[in-house]
Amino acid sequence: MPSNPVEMMIVKILGGSMGTSIGTGGGGTTGGVTQGSMVEVLRRVYSERFGIGEPLHVQFILFWRRIFTFDFGISYSYYPAKVNDVVMRALPWTLALITPVPIIGFFIGNRIGSIVALKKGKAANIVYYLAMYLSIMPYYWFGMILIYVFGVVLRWFPTSGAYSSIWLKPQWTNPQFLLDVLHHYTLPFLSLVGQGIGGWALGMRASVASQAKSTYTLYMKHLGFSFQKIRKRIERNAILPNFTWLPMSFSGLVGQTLLVETVFGYPGVGSLMYDAAFSLDYPMLEATFLIIMLIVLVGNLICDIVYGILDPRIGSRYVSEEAQ
Amino acid sequence: MQRRSVAKILFRSKKFLACSTIVLSLALLGAIGPYFTYDPTDYVGRMYEPPSPKHICGTDIYGRDIFAQLVHGLRNSLMVGVIAGGISLLIAMAIGGISGYVHGFIGEAFNALINIFLVLPTIPLLIFFSALVRIRSLFLVALFIAFITGWPGSARALRSMVLSLREKDFINLAIITGKRTRHIIFGEIFSNMIAYIFLQFCGACASAILAEAGISLIGLGPTDVPTLGMMLHWAIMSLSLQIGVWWWFFSPGLVLVLLIASLYTMSSIMPEV
């Protein structure tokens, strides 16, 4: 197996049969076009174009220039497309998959946790333990079960891709296309969201249970507030410790999205990274890694801002520090 | 006396008993099973045979016995778990112990190190590693998992435990009698947390197995031996899911769930230290 992107590129151009002859240095022939010297020329051209022939320290500087200028040059595996174009085409799919997952998972998980902590019912307990088992289960395996049950046996949902192949390219203004996208979106989304709910429910149950024992709850009960009002107060306070885990969950979520994209053949950043890792597409790997870190960082930033809104004490402290 | 009380603390919990039974029986299956099954690479049946007494878990696209793959994969996955879990626990003990016990700049610096490694995304890093190293042995993958992604979680847990133990009287006594810091951390603090450290080891094992399965799922795991994750990879790549071959992906996933769920449940038990 060639271990150099240039060799891989040449093999790709000349067809798989060339792989062995390049390794031994002899000039193989396919279609009468390629002699040994021809391969040498190709190798030189691609080395120069990819910047691989340079000495190591120059390549290192080139690497930092690519990172800071956001200009990753030409992709090896999608040659001759630019890395930026390919990544930008894939990014919306990944963002669409990743954005709603923590939000919806957080809300559903918190609701389950608070119901289980406040009302001891059989139904609530069953849902709670289901969520717990779901969060221990590897999400990709859960996704495969979803594919099998809903995609193959029941035939309710398509098993792979982000839209049907009758749409040659995305047509965002067409409502039927949007419906089709939602149809494809359901299974990968479910397999991602199922993973988080259990953890949030667990945290919320403990948090609500400790708040329910506190003195203000007792006081409200004695004053005769309705259960709904008390619950609202308790949840408002209990959500804070749980919320601090949200930023921590992002780096895990990014990895989960990558794997789920591969299982479902979803055309996002994860699939690009997967292709790039197999074809030694270094610029693509750098770009996808940078994008992933940016997603994690932006997610953390948003969480910090939302935490200031959720907890007025923190928010006002920020403001008062500004004022000083 | 110390050792016996550790076992007593752990086995008092029924949950621990049940989970350790599951893990031990799976480990037994992985240890002796490979000597009694077919070779996982042999073509022993027809293509896509459903489960039957002859092939307990059916056969795959080439007619290889899935139960044989399962047993071999289980052994290799467990080995990743034990190697990576053990090494990451050692790292976690060193770094978590220092950051919890030592006051001042050094402790804070080690704490910062833990926090930095804690937010590194596991799967993308493993993909990156696999792109750089083309031929990967099981041991190499386990080492990488241990050094990059395995230890920070345990290190943080051990740190908080050390932080609370540091204030106990016997530690002050040890300091007054002039014992060295290294001796206090390993001889006094960790020897009183053996049960807790063992539970952390279970958790680290589970995370390592899960990480390896995740990276093998996309075909970037160890290249020399089959693991549970790689079976799932084959099942996806052959598109057997889409034609309704459920037995290929179901059994490795089920074993993975049993293993990981039991290990995590064991690690979540809180012993009184």
| Segment A292-302, tens digit of pLDDT | 888 888 988 88
- The CATH number for A285's domain is 1.10.3720.10
φ/ψ (deg, to 5) at B59: -125, 160
pLDDT of A112 above 60: yes
Report chain B residues whose CB lies below 8 A from the CB of A138. 210, 213-214, 253, 256-257, 260
Mark yes or no for CB contact A259/B232 under 8 Å.
no
- Regarding whether A300 and A169 lie in a shared domain, the answer is yes
Mark yes or no for CB contact B253/A144 under 8 Å.
yes
Cβ-based neighbour number of residue B269 at 10 Å:
17
Residue-wise pLDDT for B79-104, tens only, equals: 999 999 999 999 999 999 888 888 88
- Regarding whether A135 and A26 lie in a shared domain, the answer is no
In chain B, the residue whose alpha carbon lies closest to the alpha carbon of A271 is B218
Confidence at A267, pLDDT banded by 50, 70, 90: confident
Contact of B124 with A292, CB cutoff 8 Å: yes
- Regarding whether A200 and A116 lie in a shared domain, the answer is yes
Q: What is the mean pLDDT of residues A178-207?
A: 87
User: What is the distance between the alpha carbons of residues A260 and A262, in angstroms, rounded to a whole number?
Assistant: 5
Domain boundaries, position A162: 88-323
**Nearest of B22, B8, B25, B62 to residue B40 by alpha carbon:** B62
Last residue of a domain, one of A54, A85, A116: A85
pLDDT at B88: 93
Confidence at A21, pLDDT banded by 50, 70, 90: very low
Torsion sign over Cα B183, B185, B186, B188: positive
- Regarding whether A222 and A310 lie in a shared domain, the answer is yes
pLDDT at A119: 80
pLDDT of A34 above 60: no
- Regarding whether A153 and A41 lie in a shared domain, the answer is no
B257 touches chain A (CB under 8 A): yes
Nearest CB partner across the interface for B236, out of A254, A263, A273:
A263
Mark yes or no for CB contact A148/B232 under 8 Å.
no
CA of A232 to nearest chain B CA: how many angstroms apart?
30
Exposed (0-12), middle (13-18) or buried (19+): which is A54, by Cβ within 10 Å? middle
pLDDT more than 70, % of chain A: 88
Query: A interface mutation test: which of B116, B127, B129, B133 has the most A CBs within 10 A?
Result: B127
CA of A299 to nearest chain B CA: how many angstroms apart?
12
Structural domain spans, chain B: 6-29+81-267
Mark yes or no for CB contact A148/B260 under 8 Å.
no
Mark yes or no for CB contact A138/B210 under 8 Å.
yes
Mark yes or no for CB contact B124/A254 under 8 Å.
yes
pLDDT of A78 above 90: no
Confidence at A263, pLDDT banded by 50, 70, 90: confident
CA of A234 to nearest chain B CA: how many angstroms apart?
26
Mark yes or no for CB contact A138/B213 under 8 Å.
yes
Report chain B residues whose CB lies below 8 A from the CB of A144. 232, 235-236, 241, 249, 253
B134 touches chain A (CB under 8 A): yes
Single-letter amino acid, residue A34: T
SS3 at position A82: strand
Which residue is associated with the tokens 């959500």? A239
pLDDT more than 90, % of chain A: 1
Number of A–B residue contacts, CB under 8 Å = 101
Nearest CB partner across the interface for A259, out of B217, B253, B261:
B217
B119 touches chain A (CB under 8 A): yes
- Regarding whether A257 and A276 lie in a shared domain, the answer is yes
Last residue of a domain, one of A61, A85, A109: A85
pLDDT at B90: 92
pTM of the model: 0.82
- Regarding whether A147 and A60 lie in a shared domain, the answer is no
pLDDT of A212 above 50: yes
φ/ψ (deg, to 5) at A82: -80, 145
- Regarding whether A276 and A178 lie in a shared domain, the answer is yes
Query: Which residue numbers in chain B have pLDDT < 70?
Result: 1-6, 270-273
- Regarding whether A159 and A60 lie in a shared domain, the answer is no
Last residue of a domain, one of A41, A57, A85: A85
In chain A, the residue whose alpha carbon lies closest to the alpha carbon of B263 is A136
Q: Write out the H or E segment, with its range, that includes residue A270.
A: helix A269-278
pLDDT at A182: 86
| Residue with the larger pLDDT of the pair A10 and B90 | B90
- Regarding whether A254 and A143 lie in a shared domain, the answer is yes
- Regarding whether A230 and A150 lie in a shared domain, the answer is yes
Residues contacting A166, CB < 8 A, separation 6+: none
CATH of B6-29+81-267, one of 1.10.3720, 3.30.160, 2.60.40, 1.10.3470: 1.10.3720
- Regarding whether A73 and A127 lie in a shared domain, the answer is no
| Residue with the larger pLDDT of the pair A214 and B11 | A214
Number of domains in chain A: 2
pLDDT at A15: 64
Report chain A residues whose CB lies below 8 A from the CB of B127. 258, 273-274, 277
In chain A, the residue whose alpha carbon lies closest to the alpha carbon of B251 is A141
Query: A interface mutation test: which of B48, B123, B228 has the most A CBs within 10 A?
Result: B123
Report chain A residues whose CB lies below 8 A from the CB of B118. 248
